[in-house]
Structure 1
C-alpha cells in the first residue's frame, strides 16, 4: 500500500472516530477539568483513564491512597475517583487525610469500590463525599455522575 493511501485511511478513520465520539456523547466540552483515579486494579484504572480522556478530561492516576494524596496535592484535581481496598494506605484513610488537609477540603470525591458494607459507606459519607458507587459499575452511569458532580461544583451558590 502506498503512503498516500495509508494517510487517507488514517485520516478517514480519524474523522469517523471523531463523529462516533460526538454521536455517543464522548468528547463533550469538559475542558481542562482534572480527575484523579486512585485504584490498585490496573484494568480499572486504564479503562477509566481511556474513557475520561475521550471525554476530554485531564486524568492522573495513583495505585494506592498514599500516592493518591501526593498526586492530589501536586495536581489539585477537581474530582477524585477513590477505591477503598488498596495497599499501603486504603481509601478511607486517604479520604480522611485529604479532608484534614487545607488543600484537600474542597476536592470532590466519588468512592468507587467493591466494599458494600454499611460501615464503609457511613465512614465515607462522614467525610463529605459526593457519591459511593459499588463495583461492578456501569461506565455510562459513572460518567453521568461525574458530569453531574462537576456541573454542581461549577454552579454558583446562592446566598440568602
Structure 2
C-alpha cells in the first residue's frame, strides 16, 4: 500500500485529502505543522508528502529542507500545496526540491492524479 503524509494546518483540507487518499488505497498520515511532520518521519517513510507552506512552528520550506537532508527519505516525493501563488514562491518551493507545486484552491481529483503520476 502506498503511504502519504499530509501536512497542513487547515482542518477542512486535511479531512478532505485524508478521505480522498484513503479511498484511493493510500495509508494516510496527518501532521498539523512541520514539527509534527518531522516527528512522524522519524518512524514512517511515506512515498509522498503533501506539504503546506504557511504553517505554525516550522513552515513548509524549512520542513522540506529537513526532509531533503534525511538519507532515509531520498525516495520520497514532495508536493507543495499552498495559497502562496507568486512565481517566486513557486520557484523557491521547486528549488528546495519539491516535485510539484500546487496552488490553492485546487482540484482534489487532479491532485490525486498528479500524486499517482509522481509515484508510478
Question: TM-score interval w.r.t. the shorter chain?
Answer: over 0.9
- Choose between structure 1 and 2: higher helix proportion: 1
Task: Determine if contact 1:65/1:89 at 8 Å carries over to the other structure.
Answer: yes
Between the aligned partners of 1:86 and 1:76, the Cα distance in structure 2 is 21
Task: Determine if contact 1:73/1:104 at 8 Å carries over to the other structure.
Answer: no
Aligned to 2:66: 97
Residues paired across the two proteins, number: 120
Task: Determine if contact 1:73/1:103 at 8 Å carries over to the other structure.
Answer: no
Q: Indicate the structure (1 or 2) with the bigger Cα radius of gyration.
A: 1
Between the aligned partners of 1:34 and 1:42, the Cα distance in structure 2 is 20
- Choose between structure 1 and 2: higher strand proportion: 2
Deviation at 1:118, TM superposition (A): 2.1
Between the aligned partners of 2:52 and 2:12, the Cα distance in structure 1 is 13
Task: Determine if contact 2:83/2:105 at 8 Å carries over to the other structure.
Answer: yes
**2:29 is aligned with 1:65:** no
Aligned to 1:42: 11
Between the aligned partners of 1:86 and 1:44, the Cα distance in structure 2 is 13
Between the aligned partners of 1:103 and 1:47, the Cα distance in structure 2 is 28
**2:53 is aligned with 1:84:** yes
Aligned to 1:130: 99
Residue-by-residue CA offset, 1:97-119 (whole Å, 9 max, x unaligned): 11112222321001011011222
Deviation at 1:130, TM superposition (A): 1.3
Q: Compute the TM-score of the two structures, normalised by the length of structure 2.
A: 0.95
**Secondary structure of 1:58 counterpart:** strand
Which segment drifts farther, 32-41 or 71-80?
A: 71-80
Task: Determine if contact 2:34/2:58 at 8 Å carries over to the other structure.
Answer: yes
Q: Compute the TM-score of the two structures, normalised by the length of structure 1.
A: 0.72
